[in-house]
Every structure is written in C-alpha cells, then in structure tokens.
Structure 1
Amino acid sequence: MDAIEERIAHLIRQVEDLSDVVARQSGEIDRLERRVALLMERAAEAESEGQGSVPLADQRPPHW
C-alpha cells in the first residue's frame, strides 16, 4: 500500500509540474502572438509608406 501511495504522490507532482509548464508556455505563446501581430502591422505600414501604392499582400502575383 505504501508503494502505491508513493507512486500516486509522484504522479501528482508530475501533473502539477506539467501544468506549470503548460501555463508558462501559454503565456509565452500569447506574448509571441502579440509581437508577431505588431511586427506585421509595422511591416505593412513601412511597405505602404515606402511605395505609396497598394501593399504587396494586396497585389496580384506577376503571373496573373
């Protein structure tokens, strides 16, 4: 019985550790998504200011 209780205690600890890792990674992913969105906005602004025309994302490819 003691061996089972010890294994359960270890498993509970592992689940808690994994939960902490998942929570931390979720926060990191949220921060990275915000940074990517900001970078995309900046790139679009720079592209539209630099060319004074339609951004490349809105243009048709040259083979059309």
Structure 2
Amino acid sequence: METYSLLREFADSWMLLFLFTFFVAVILWVFRPGSRSEYQETADIPFRHADKPAPAAATEKEAQP
C-alpha cells in the first residue's frame, strides 16, 4: 500500500477521533467546577497595581523566577 494512502486513511479515522477527544477533554478541563477562581486570579494580573505603582520590593520579587 502506498505511504500517502496509508497515512491519509489513518488521519481520516483514528487521528480525527483522537483530536476530537482531545478537544472535548480540553473544553471540559477549562469549564470544570472550581476553576473560576484560578482563571479570575490570572485575568486580574494586569490590574494588580492599577491604583498605585508597585513598590520596588514587590517588583523585584515578581521579576525573580
């Protein structure tokens, strides 16, 4: 059997099933119960010091890995 035909058949069947399953798993992971607080904290990072500049110690602390 030709390599292209074999890979095309695999991509049309099993890989499509795998990618669809992976997509559904990612959607379920993102919208799982209890994840809202985690994403809300991440979304608020740009506004953490919106009312006043960050102190120098906090800036250095966040910059270090």
TM class by smaller structure? 0.3 to 0.5
**TM-score normalised according to structure 1 size:** 0.45
Higher helix proportion, which one?
Answer: 1
Structure ID, larger Rg: 1
- State TM-score, norm by structure 2: 0.44
Structure with greater contact order relative to length (CA < 8 Å, sep ≥ 6): 1
